[in-house]
Structure 1
């Protein structure tokens, strides 16, 4: 269901991104839901299975890195870890976004997403980590400010005493849940726009000038390679 949510958001945002300003997409969410739960349902389920498996493997790799071993065993482990992480690098969270935009099968979309970002941008890790950390920081700051205000208002106006701290903590938890949901959606939107921007870069086109004005400031890969043909996005 999480991957289905990402799929629907990706198609909806891609229809907005690649549409002309005078021709705004109609019934974008309805068409996205129809695509997600019809011919693309297998891709979504397979993506969820793969992504969960990748998380388990990454956890095992991180644990292996923390173990202290010496001699030839340490060298073999380090080489194995490096090779495994290189293979896992193909499986990033942008694959489902690309599959939703282009309609490609998951395995093919995995390779094409990796090549697309490698040819045109620095790394998928840049947006994947920076955007997530920034949004998480915003949640913490807003929730902390809100909690302090609630506590001050309760103590000054109602004078609940120690109960004010309990109410403030409950308000903080509720706000974390609400903001977490919206930030999760916003994070998926950022990922989709990032992939759309990469497709524009590969084609040498500008679909949304305001997006290019922002992403042009991101680090660009110095080693330019010729692009590869990408199937036309599933937008109207």
Structure 2
């Protein structure tokens, strides 16, 4: 095994970020007093997150169960589930739109300090449009590509055959998902305690105490959110790296695999966490940076009227960059898992392979990707809206957006682990198919039959 470390600078940067997160979290944990705030202040961000803990745990557990059930059913009934997804997703998005719209039209009471406000949640009204837009886009995509649904089924069945032939591959997502859940639990604990960095308002000026969060706590919160995104993307790309390595081993050497094939997943994970960790960290950094900037622009657009024109331009540019970075990361990390190259070498090699064989890039059938990823979007959108509505309408808190953010991000990344199992196998198999074309060989005829229509 090549012991040369790839892209070590980004592995070091992540190590520094992790140290800052851990040390600051431990310091905050032991220097903040929860009871003093709970007794005096009822409307703090800390209080609403703590009161929403049961609800957040429920939506996270629900997303985990749904994602697990989805993967099991997909393996057993691919054709039925694909057609079921085509039909059920518009129904689910329509229900989500109607429910959030109805909730937004009702008057809610929010308590902030010693004042009570009653208003209609116009922000939720605008948010409710998101599932409607997603629904219309989804229906158009499926309708325009309805003649390719059977081809999509054959591609997904190919990935299912890979899992059936090599069940050890499921150890990787389960292991990484366990790590992610543990990390998320620690992150939520630290993130919640951030809002205890502050002071009580002067009781002589107000009839009721208000908790005032220190300004630097918001900068720490921004770092925590970015670090959460970065770590989540690293775990997702580590899964892709390991699955690509295992898929290539099966694709090219399945007839040579001995009884020690169960150790293949360990070799892939160890390689991804050591020599190639910098490559994975770099890919995760690029993707999380785009996601974080999109999050910042949305917040600026929502709360700052003066910067809206500039923010709208930046948001549009980021919307264009997002899919490009995502596609580049997909085939780069996938090929790095197969060949062991660093990030830029893998990107260059993949580009040359695609160009020489007149391929459009990483497996680009939009319908297949929509079917595999739409469940993630629906789960995240539904749980995020549920968490936001619970915090604002049931707990009457002005900090519902924080709970909604947690209720969206966590289920989104959890369910992605499962959808990425299928998509990573499909992407890796497509890369192996491209290598076959490049070398003029046929290692797996079923893959050539499945992908030939997408050249």
Report the aligned-residue RMSD: 3.8
Counterparts of 1:10-49 in structure 2 under 5 Å? 10-24=244-258, 26=261, 27-49=263-285
Distance 1:11 1:115 in 2: 20
Structure 1 stretches of 5 or more lacking a match? 68-76, 144-175, 221-236
What is residue 97 of structure 1 aligned with on the other side? 334
Within 5 Å, which residues of 2 pair with 1:62-77? 64=313
Judging changes above 3 Å, is the alpha-carbon distance between structure 1 residues 184 and 66 closer, same or farther for their aligned structure 2 residues? closer
Assess if the C-alpha contact under 8 Å between 2:287 and 2:325 holds in 1.
Answer: no
The CA deviation at 1:210 is 1.3
**SS at 2:274 equivalent:** coil
- Give the alignment partner of residue 343 of structure 2, picking from 95, 102, 106: 106
Higher relative helix content: 2
Residue range with higher mean Cα deviation, 207-216 or 90-99: 90-99
Across the two proteins, how many residue pairs are aligned to each other? 170
Give the CA deviation at 1:126: 5.3
The reply on whether 1:206 has 2:442 as its aligned counterpart is: yes
How many angstroms apart in 2 are the aligned matches of 1:54 and 1:177? Answer: 16
Contact 2:272 2:280 in 1 (8 A): yes
Q: Is the 8 A contact 2:362 2:430 kept in 1?
A: no
Are 2:131 and 1:131 aligned? no
Q: Give distance in 2, aligned partners of 1:180 and 1:97.
A: 16
Shift of 1:91: 2.9
- Encode CA deviations 1:23-53: one digit per residue, 9 max, x unaligned: 3572110111121112111111112112334
Query: CA separation in 2, counterparts of 1:46 and 1:178?
Result: 21
TM-score (norm 1): 0.58
SS in 1 for 2:364: helix
Superposition pairs of residues 182-221 of structure 1, within 5 angstroms: 182-218=418-454, 220=455
- Rounded Cα–Cα distance in structure 2 between residues aligned with 1:7 and 1:56: 23
User: Which whole-Å CA distance do the structure 1 matches of 2:340 and 2:368 have between them?
Assistant: 25
Assess, with a 3 A threshold, how the Cα gap between structure 1 residues 55 and 192 changes in structure 2: closer, same or farther: farther
Deviations 1:174-216 (A, max 9, x none): xx99876432211111111111111111111111111112112
Q: Residue by residue, what CA displacement relative to the aligned partner does 1:140-165 show, whole Å, maximum 9, x if unpaired? A: 9xx9xxxxxxxxxxxxxxxxxxxxxx
The 8 Å contact of residues 236 and 417 in structure 2, kept in 1 or not, is answered as: no
The structure-2 alpha-carbon separation of the partners of 1:38 and 1:210, relative to structure 1 and needing over 3 Å to count, comes to: same
From 46, 51, 62, the counterpart of 2:287: 51
Please give the alpha-carbon distance, in whole angstroms, between the structure 2 residues aligned to 1:184 and 1:28. 19
Report 1 or 2 for greater relative contact order, CA contacts < 8 Å, sequence distance ≥ 6.
1
Matched, 1:7 2:241: yes
1:160 matched residue in structure 2: none
Change (3 A) 1:121 1:135: farther
Structure 2: tracts of 5 or more residues without a match: 1-234, 298-311, 380-411
Q: Which protein is bigger by CA-based radius of gyration? A: 2
- Distance (Å, rounded) in 1 between the aligned partners of 2:450 and 2:329: 23
Structure 2 contact 240–333 (Cα < 8 Å) conserved: yes
**Secondary structure of 2:328 counterpart:** coil
Q: Does 1:117 align with 2:351?
A: no
Deviation of 1:6 (Å): 1.1
Alignment of 1:75-94 (within 5 A): 91-94=328-331
| Cα deviation 1:42-94 (Å, max 9, x = unaligned) | 1111121123345568999xx54997xxxxxxxxx9xxx99x89x86983421
Q: Distance in 2 between matches of 1:102 and 1:128?
A: 24
